[in-house]
Amino acid sequence: MEVLKNKKTLQDFIERQKEMGKKIGFAPTMGALHNGHLSLYKKAKEENDLVISSIFVNPTQFNNAEDLEKYPRDINRDILILKNSDLVDAVYIPEVVDIYPEKAESLHYDFDGLENEMEGKSRPGHFDGVGTVVEELFRQVKPDNAYFGEKDFQQLAIIKKMVEKKKLPVKIHGVSIYRAENGLALSSRNQRLHENRREASKIIYETLKKVNDWFRVITIPEIKERVKDIFESQQGMQLEYFLIADEDSLKETDFFYKDRNFRAFIVVVVDGVRLIDNMHLD
């Protein structure tokens, strides 16, 4: 596996691969890698000649400087995980100047309102930061296919919208949420939880499964009340929000329509650690 530490090295590598007609699969990360990330590369390996990873903690998508400072970084561990996976051909580890040559600032995007729903309500500018770094990485890596986890479903929708609007020559693939044995969605943030709290947090997934059972059986306001009751009885857990939204517009709904696809979204803070999850509703 090649480790590409600057933009020039990456460009030379990509040029050689394109000359050989290689189809490139790509999944960008912010490091702190786990099996959820590897599931993206597994999918990419099945569908491409060459798989590229990137590791870059993007400063422009953090609203809070303390969160940026606290974000887990262990580049040597991450490189070892990628090497041992036997799934990745090269990893790009740019410096800030490789992504932001002048100043680490976001471009402004119009995502047709997707950026104003859910996470966007409490994190102004966050998705501009996501769009800026992903667009720049796409322009540098020049992938044919790019892979993102459905755990960050809103981010996935926003990247698809950006690619559509910018007419970028890359196909975006969503990959199913990778879960621990107890159902908890894998996340870099899980590392900050004590083992017994990770076990207790399985209630998030169990609640989503109940929501899927209740969907179209009782009203959405009744479902929301039941979810609220579940987390009010959990010590050390705070329900930040739960909602059911249209999968295309991400707009919250209190009524289900037969001809649309819906998804339940939930954010729970466990001992100060913010956990997100979602589930398509049948």
Q: In Å, how far are 58, 103, 182 from 96, measured between CA atoms?
A: 8, 9, 37
Question: Which residues are documented as binding site for (R)-pantoate?
Answer: 61, 155
Question: Which residues are documented as binding site?
Answer: 30-37, 61, 149-152, 155, 186-189
Give tens-digit pLDDT for 136-154. 999 999 999 999 999 999 9
Backbone angles phi, psi at 76, to 5 degrees: -65, -40
- Cβ burial 173-189 (10 Å sphere, 16+ → b, else e): bbbebbbbeebbbbbbe
The answer to whether the beta carbons of residues 261 and 282 sit under 8 Å apart is: no
User: pTM of whole model > 0.85?
Assistant: yes
What is the C-alpha R_g of the chain? 19
Show me where the domains of the chain are located.
2-175, 188-281
Calpha distance 89→271 (Å, rounded): 38
Q: What is the CATH architecture of 2-175?
A: 3-Layer(aba) Sandwich (3.40)
Calpha distance 11→16 (Å, rounded): 9
CATH match for 188-281 among 3.30.1300.10, 3.40.50.300, 3.40.50.40, 3.20.20.70: 3.30.1300.10
Written as tens digits, the pLDDT of the chain (282 aa) is 999 999 999 999 999 999 999 999 999 999 999 999 999 999 999 999 999 999 999 999 987 777 788 777 899 999 999 999 999 999 999 999 999 999 999 999 999 999 999 999 988 899 999 999 999 999 999 999 999 999 999 999 999 999 999 999 999 999 999 999 999 999 988 888 999 999 999 999 999 999 999 998 999 999 999 999 999 999 999 999 999 999 999 999 999 888 899 999 999 999 999 999 999 999
Catalytic residue numbers read 37
Question: Which residues are documented as binding site for ATP?
Answer: 30-37, 149-152, 186-189
